[in-house]
Amino acid sequence: MQENNLLLQMEHITKRFPGSVALSDAYLHVERGEVHALIGENGAGKSTLIKVLTGVYHYDEGTIQFDGRVGAFQSPQQAQRQGISTIYQEINLVPFRSVTENIFLGREIFRWGLLDWRKMNAEASALLERLHISIDVTKPLNTYNTATQQMVAIARAISFKSKLVIMDEPTSSLNDDEVAILFTVIRQLKEEGVATIFVSHRLDELYAICDGITILRDGLTVDERPINTISKLELVAKMLGKDLGSVQQSGQTSFDASRHQAGEEVVLEVSGLREGRKLQNASVKVRAGEIVGLAGLLGSGRSEVARAVFGADHVDAGKIAINGKEVHFRAPEDAIRAGIGLCSEDRKADGIIPDLSVRENLTLAALPTLTRYGIVDRRQQEAIVDRFIQRLGIKTSGPEQKIRELSGGNQQKVLLARWMCLNPRLLLLDEPTRGIDVGAKSEIQKLVEELAESGMGVLLISSELEEIIEGSDHVVVLRDGITVAELPHKDISQDAIMTAMAHGEGYASTGEAL
């Protein structure tokens, strides 16, 4: 690697947030004209690193050198002027303004002091022509679909004559043809000497377009090398922080899957689920009294499966059956009536009602069963709340305390109790132990175990392989929205799961593993 060929050099980057360290000793090197993949699981620090680079965040320690210039950028505008353009995952353009305006926003072309619309429109069209898109550039951006808007964002980025283009999951809203066009553009840029940082969770895409790869985990860079020297499996192992072929340690969680006995009754059967590009052929089966682990990398469609089953999202195709009967839930309330509960991944956004009390949060889903003529039976309600506060050991000053004042672990217990008090036949748990302290984590794992023993079917989504491995009677692995493996209890191992995450291909729905 020749020193003068390096476009970007980030060394020993540390970024602290109040109460947490987002990056510690992360590094990133990108050569001129290189397409460089940046990958890592949730919370690994990818977005923080990008934001540090583009001047959105100020970092605490480390050095940045870009194009011979040493030092941090003070603002995204400065980064852009120096030749870094960023395309964010959520398109950040102005929906009601025209395509041309969006492309030239902030650096309009003037003629005699007036906006030179003719020239700007012509240049905008020419730029889009490079992306094989011919649209009326004078129409508002929001008259076009998401993929086209994404292309406009890309056109804007390349129009800056940048030296480095950062693409944060640019393909998540594109179909296969559009992805192919995007790749052609990236190769064109490469020929012109423009480098690209490419963030994506689709391993196949990374191998198709990238030259080098940097893997982040827990805020530090764990590997950096040419992509053709690392196998997909190694890549997945690095990302998850596991060693290949190593003997698994047991007892890392409070789970013990050997304790529960799966019943015969199939509580949930999902087959051929499709939803846009997120789910392409997902299938899962859960029996009464068993914990089924749903594994997969970030963006593999795990949460989408749970939300689809719960009636929270609409799907394009596929079959969902509860206790052998096909169902079509229009809203979560239908699913709840059918005996299903869902603890969602994002506790703050989709779980708690911050200003309501522990009591009100805990019984929110149970209210229909606690009311007569619309009036809540306060005594019965309080009895339930007291029972669950005691049973789950929820630390609160009392049932009337606002839930937002509780710790993460205790909030999660309240949300679990929200479903437990309904005694559902199927519980969908999306990352139930994320972001909570070790003690609460272990208590929640024990609790989930108890629920399965009592005959409940549990679908457990977790990014922690230990939880999946030790907790599950059965593991289903998703890859790019496709169920690629179904591992019975005896076949569950770290290597088997990671192999499926890395290489798994769609398989016929015979239930055979790979």
Partner 1 sequence: MMRLEQRLTALKVPHDLRALGQDYGALIALILLIIFDVIFTKQFHSLITVTNLLVYVTPTLILGVGMTLVIATGGIDISVGSIMGLTGILTYLIFSGKWLGIHNIVVGTIVAMPIALVVATLVGVFNGVLVTRFNVQPIVATLISLITVRGIAEVTVNGFQFAFLSAPIVSWLSGNLFGFLPRQVILMAVIVAIFAWLMRATAFSRYLLSIGGNQSAARLAGVPVTRVLITVYAISGLLAGIAGLAFIAFNSAAYPVTDGLGKELDAIAAVAVGGTPLTGGRATILGTAIGAIFIQLLRQTVVSLNVPDDIASVIIGVLILLAVFLQRPSKA
The residues binding partner 1 (CB under 8 A) are 310, 312, 331-333, 335-337, 342, 344, 349-356, 360, 364-365, 367-368, 370-371, 374-376, 378, 397-398, 418
CB of 336 to partner 1, least distance (A): 4
218/334 with CB nearer partner 1: 334
Q: Which of 411, 413, 422 is nearest to 368 (CA)?
A: 422
Q: State the pairing for strand pair 61-66/457-461.
A: unpaired
Shortest Cβ distance from residue 362 to partner 1 (Å)?
10
Count Cβ atoms within 10 A of the Cβ of residue 448 and give its class: 0-12 exposed, 13-18 middle, 19 or more buried: buried
Q: Using the minimum distance from each CB to partner 1, give the nearer residue, 118 or 387.
A: 387
Nearer to partner 1, 68 or 374 (CB): 374
**Distance from C-alpha of 68 to C-alpha of 64, rounded to nearest angstrom:** 10
CB of 472 to partner 1, least distance (A): 24
For residue 469, what are the CA distances in angstroms to 188, 255, 482, 514? 44, 9, 20, 18
Question: How would DSSP label each residue in 289-333?
Answer: T-EEEEE--TTSSHHHHHHHHTTSS--SEEEEEETTEE---SSHH
E strand intervals along 112-188: 114-115, 164-168
Nearest residue (CB) to partner 1, 14 versus 401: 401
End-to-end CA distance of the chain: 40
Q: Work out how close the CB of 266 gets to partner 1 at its nearest, in angstroms, rounded to a whole number.
A: 24
Nearer to partner 1, 235 or 342 (CB): 342
We find the least distance from the C-beta atom of residue 474 to partner 1, in angstroms, to be: 25
104 vs 329, beta carbon nearer partner 1: 329
Amino acid in the structure at residue 311: G
The least CB distance from residue 351 to partner 1, in Å, is 5
Distance (Å, whole) CA 6 – CA 1: 8
Q: 220-226 and 212-217 as β-strands: parallel, antiparallel, unpaired?
A: antiparallel
The whole-angstrom separation of Cα 380 and Cα 478 is 42
- Per DSSP, what are the bridge partners of residue 475? 293, 487
Write the Ramachandran bin of 391: left for phi over 0, alpha for psi from -120 to 50, otherwise beta: alpha
* Nearest alpha-carbon partner for 59 in 78, 42, 47, 72: 72
Q: How far is CA 504 from CA 209, 300, 382, 417, 473, in A?
A: 20, 12, 49, 36, 20
**Least CB distance from residue 337 to partner 1, whole Å?**
8
Distance of CA 51 to the CA centre of its chain: 18
* CB nearer to partner 1: pick between 240 and 394: 394
Q: How far is the CB of 361 from partner 1 (least distance, A)?
A: 8
Nearer to partner 1, 233 or 327 (CB): 327
Min CB(395)–partner 1 separation in Å: 9
**Which residue, 314 or 378, has its beta carbon nearer to partner 1?**
378
Tell me the closest approach of the beta carbon of residue 413 to partner 1, in angstroms: 16
- Whole-angstrom Cα distance, residue 403 to residue 382? 16
The H-or-E segment that residue 178 falls in is helix 176-191
Tell me if 395 sits within 8 A of 406, measured CB to CB.
Answer: yes
Contacts of 301 (CB under 8 A, 6+ apart): 275, 278, 279, 280, 282, 478, 480, 481
Cβ-based nearer residue to partner 1, 335 or 484 = 335
Q: How far is the CB of 353 from partner 1 (least distance, A)?
A: 4
Q: Which is nearer to partner 1, 76 or 332 (CB)?
A: 332
